[in-house]
Structures are given as C-alpha cells and as structure tokens.
A and B are shown apart, each in its own frame.
Chain A
Amino acid sequence: MGMTMTQKILAAHAGLDHVEAGQLIDAKLDMVLGNDITSPVAINEFEKCGATSVFDNTRIALVLDHFAPNKDIKAAEQCRQTRNFAGKYDIKNFFDVGRMGIEHALLPEQGIVVPGDCIIGADSHTCTYGAVGAFSTGVGSTDMAAGMISGKAWFKVPSAIQVKLTGKLPKWVSGKDVILHLIGMIGVDGALYKSLEFTGDGVKNLSMDDRLCIANMAIEAGAKNGIFPVDEVTMEYGKGRFQREAVVYEADPDAVYESVVEIDLSTLRPTVAFPHLPENTKTIDEAGKVKIDQSVIGSCTNGRMEDMRTAAEILKGRKVAAGVRCIIIPGTQQIYLQCVREGLAEIFIEAGAIFSTPTCGPCLGGHMGVLGKGEKAVSTTNRNFVGRMGHVESEVYLASPAVAAASAVTGYITDPASL
C-alpha cells in the first residue's frame, strides 16, 4: 500500500521503510521551535527533569514574538528567561527584538526549515512549514522540552485528506480565501488528527506566500499538518535561502487518502469567517454590511511581502475611514525593511494606518490592538474565537489582506473590487 507524502517523511525520520496510518513511531527531529509564551513552560520542564544539555544547539529555534517587544513586566520576565536559556545553551537560532520576526514568517524566510524536514514547534501554527514540503506540526511545551533534550518525538502516523487544486486565483483572491473556503467546507474538526495534502495542477499557480498562508491555517481545520509538494516554485524560493539540503519526498501514486476534496481556484471569491469560528465562512457577496472598528493586517498567516504589497495597492492614495484603526504589522524585519524601501511604509502612514515592528500582538489579544467591549475587527489573522482579540464581547472577522485593506477604507467589510 502506498504512502502519502507525510507518511514518507515520517517513515524516513523513524528509520522505517514503511509506515501506516495509526502506527506509533519515534521520529528524529530536524528542528524544534518555541516562542516567548511556550518556551518558559518548556524550560521549566527541561530544568525540572535535570537535563543539562540540548541534543543539538543548531536545531533549536527560539523566537521572542508573541508579547515582544515586552508588553508588560511579566512578559519581560518570560522573554528574559528564554533569552537566558538561549545564552546558556548557545542556541544558534535565537531571535530577539531587532532580529526577530513572527516565527512562522521568520523561519521559512531565513531558510531554517527546508523540504523533507520533520519539525515540531510549541506553537499550533508550526504547520506553516508544510508549504516548503516539510512535515511540521504544533505541540505543547512538554513535547518541546523532550524534543530539545532527545531530538525526537513520538507521533501517531496520520491518515490524509487530499485537497486537489485546479485553476488559478482571480484578482483580489489569495491563499487566505483558499484556506477559509476549505475550512468552511470541512469544518474546524474536518481534518482532526489527519494530514491535509495539497495536490493538483493548481498548486503551481500558487506563490510561496499563498502556500505558507494555506498551510498555516491547516490547524484551523484540526489537521496535524498541511503539506504541499516540492516543485519549481519551492526550489526557486529556496535558492540562496535553504540553510540545509532539501530532501524531496513525493506521495506514492497509490497512496491511500481517506477522502478527496476538490477546489477550482478560479471559482473562489473573497471569503470572510464570521465570529466565533473559522468555519463560519461567507463569501464577500453574502457578508452584508458589517461595520468595523479595527482592521488588522499582519500575523503569521498574512504578514508576508505579498500581503503588504496587496494592502498598499488598495491603500495607495486612499484614506482609512474615520472611526477605524488600521494596524499593519509586517512579519519580519526583512519584510519591514522591504516595505520601507518599496515606499509601502509611506503609503500606509499617509493613508492613516499605523505600521509597526513585527509582533504577534493583536492576533491573540496580547497588545498593539486589543479590542474593547462590543468592538468589531476585520483581521488577516487566523482565529476568531470568543475573546481572541480582547474583550469577551468583541468580534473578529477573518479575511484576506485585500478585504481587510478595503474594509479599512470604507469602514465596513468590503469587496476590494468594489472600490
């Protein structure tokens, strides 16, 4: 029986010729990731069990991004603890303020994650790296601690849903709309414990930024991982970037999928997930007139260069509507700098938006844009749970950068094509 792409990567990292869905394996890890919220818990566990060394100081990435730059004293202490740990064990991929970016924008950008890798990260959106053809999944802090010590993790080999993509995305429709559409189809537990394997002719028409966005939100369908085949787009992206050799795995022709979902990219419309679940999707045509108080463009889902350019294309020569706070946050320092060089920073500021240093801040109601009672935000982030961005009675509408920028201009959820 053939293996899926995910199963092949897992088999190779477990030293096995063949694995099957449901099998428990112990796999070697190529990278272990943590951030300023999850690392302190992992470090406590690491120290509590008496560990005195890490398995490989080049295979651990610690990124201070969630409540950094430090939002309060407690956050400062968590960053300090992580910083001290990184210093003590000489962690090579440690990213502090000034070098840091939002972890899932940063690691692919820096070539720290490469095709064929097996990666765990103490952050649910670690599934992002499936975009470069790696097996990558979110875990908790204890798994992170165990991974830092042993360089291994146990997995139950997942079955898979095949997502066959055809066609090409229309103007103002992006990877965000693809993944929101998919989650709307299968639900927030539609891929629970499973892989989402993206295949088909349509893949080649998706940019790396689109793929990273799509894989990023696989967890929002409950998936263990989302993964894309490695193709010319991947290898072009990796030129001069991938820090280790890419290993290309392909699903067997007779790989077994639990189900198949087909999406014709050319038929998709800008899509919005209404409160309070990412599966509550409507097309922009069905959205009605939803008045907003805030528009957030950024995060590990949509803080990449294409997202910034799309937002700028819409905001250029326009103004953010009175009564709307528009918060634009690039994913990394490199993207930030590129935005300055390309003149995007000027466009954003002239439009009346704010343009900040990288941080996860508002996505999880941490800082830099927390919502008050009854307030509504359109946001390019990934979750719209109760209280996610602030007050328990606030609301988050998930959308693409194009929709979020257009909505900032009009003051209500808006089809970018209508401007």
Chain B
Amino acid sequence: MNAKGRVFKYGDNVDTDVIIPARYLNTASHAELAAHCMEDIDKDFVKKAQPGDIIVATKNFGCGSSREHAPIAIKASGISCVIASTFARIFYRNAINIGMPILECPEAAEDIQGGDEVSVDFDTGVITNLTTGKTYQAQPFPPFIQNIIAKGGLLNSIAK
C-alpha cells in the first residue's frame, strides 16, 4: 500500500479542537466534518486539499479530545496519510481504528516542508520526499496493527 501527495505542514501540539472545532460536533456526517477540517488554524486547507495529499506535523499531533471526528474529518478531506514526530495516543488509536494510515518519523517530520511532494510505502515504512530526493525510514506498523488495517478497521477485525 502506498500514498503520494502534496504536503500540508503544521507545528507542535495540533489539537483536536483545531482539527475539528467542537461547534461542528453536532453531526457525525463525514462530508460536513471534512468541510470544516483545520479551519481554526488553516482557513485554506479545505479549499486546497486534494485527494492523496499528506499532512506532516511535529510533536503530539492530535492532542486533546477523544473525538473520532478528528481523524474522520482528515480522512474525509482526502488526506492519505499523516506523518508526525509523535502522535497523541487517543488520536493514534482512532486513526488506526478507522483505517487512516499514520506514521511516526521525527526526521521526516522536521525536514519535510509544506508544498513538498512526498510518497510513502506503508509496507516498508519508507518515506520519500520527491521534491528533495531525500528518504526516511519510519517504523512500519507492528503485526497486531497491520492485522486491524488489513481487515479494514477494528470492527471488521473483531467481526465473527
């Protein structure tokens, strides 16, 4: 499985309140959530995001609330992958559970700039910055989590 796209770059501690503000949590509609994704820190995100694009951020991405609406909004915006130095733990779980690939790679997260073209090989964990030619090695998912993703999310993996 691979992803390839243009990068939206953010800094430390991007919290779930800016990923999807609570004022929009009166709906579970994926399309409605996507329409407001990141709007409190990046008004242009919704206008510019193209299917396949990638979010890169530094430490503690997705901190704050447990709202699954946050990874849902990102995924429904067409984002194919989030790369960060570290993720907040509930966001990490939620992303895997809904089948949105995320990778921890501090070097890539620091280096890669907004607008760069990046490709990701999820099987090997190799991240390639096509703009600069540089490659980075992230840890691929452990088998336990690969199983959840391969089955299309947590609920499919526990379904009898």
For the complex formed, measure the closest distance between the CB of B63 and the CB atoms of chain A, giving whole angstroms: 6
Tell me whether B48 is interfacial, beta carbon within 8 Å. no
User: Is B67 touching A38 in the complex (CB atoms < 8 A)?
Assistant: yes
- Number of contacting residues on B, CB 8 A? 40
Most B Cβ at <10 Å: residue of A75, A142, A383: A142
Which residues of A161-191 are within 8 A (CB) of B? 188-189
Q: How far is the CA of A188 from the CA of B71 in the complex (A)?
A: 20
For the complex formed, measure the closest distance between the CB of A396 and the CB atoms of chain B, giving whole angstroms: 11
Tell me whether B150 is interfacial, beta carbon within 8 Å. no
Tell me whether B22 is interfacial, beta carbon within 8 Å. yes
- Number of contacting residues on A, CB 8 A? 51
- Nearest A residue (CB) for B148: A154
Q: Which of B22, B94, B154 is the one whose CB lies under 8 Å from A364?
A: B22
**B68 neighbours in A (Cβ, 8 Å):** 38, 41, 122, 140-142
For the complex formed, measure the closest distance between the CB of B17 and the CB atoms of chain A, giving whole angstroms: 4
Q: Which of A124, A146, A189, A370 is the one whose CB lies under 8 Å from B66?
A: A124
Tell me whether A365 is interfacial, beta carbon within 8 Å. yes
Most B Cβ at <10 Å: residue of A138, A219, A385: A385
**B31 neighbours in A (Cβ, 8 Å):** none
Q: A67-B26, A74-B27, A145-B155 are in contact. Are A365 and B21 (CB under 8 A)?
A: yes
Q: A38-B68, A192-B89, A385-B18 are in contact. Are A392 and B155 (CB under 8 A)?
A: no
User: Is A49 touching B66 in the complex (CB atoms < 8 A)?
Assistant: no
Q: A142-B153, A149-B158, A189-B60 are in contact. Are A387 and B26 (CB under 8 A)?
A: no
Which residues of B41-75 are within 8 A (CB) of A? 41, 59-60, 63-69, 71-72
For the complex formed, measure the closest distance between the CB of A77 and the CB atoms of chain B, giving whole angstroms: 8
Which residues of B66-119 are within 8 A (CB) of A? 66-69, 71-72, 86, 88-90, 93-94, 97-98
User: Is A193 touching B40 in the complex (CB atoms < 8 A)?
Assistant: no
User: Is A74 touching B26 in the complex (CB atoms < 8 A)?
Assistant: yes
User: Is B89 touching A222 in the complex (CB atoms < 8 A)?
Assistant: yes
Quick one: CB contact mask for A17-49 with B, threshold 8 Å, 1 for yes?
A: 000000010000000000001101100110011
User: Is B66 touching A38 in the complex (CB atoms < 8 A)?
Assistant: yes
User: Is B27 touching A124 in the complex (CB atoms < 8 A)?
Assistant: no
Q: Which 10 A-B pairs have the closest CB atoms?
A: A140-B94, A74-B26, A140-B68, A142-B97, A364-B22, A189-B60, A124-B66, A49-B155, A138-B66, A385-B17
Task: Sample 12 A-B pairs with CB under 8 A, ordered by A number.
Answer: A37-B26, A38-B66, A44-B28, A142-B154, A143-B97, A143-B154, A146-B158, A192-B86, A365-B21, A383-B15, A385-B18, A392-B40
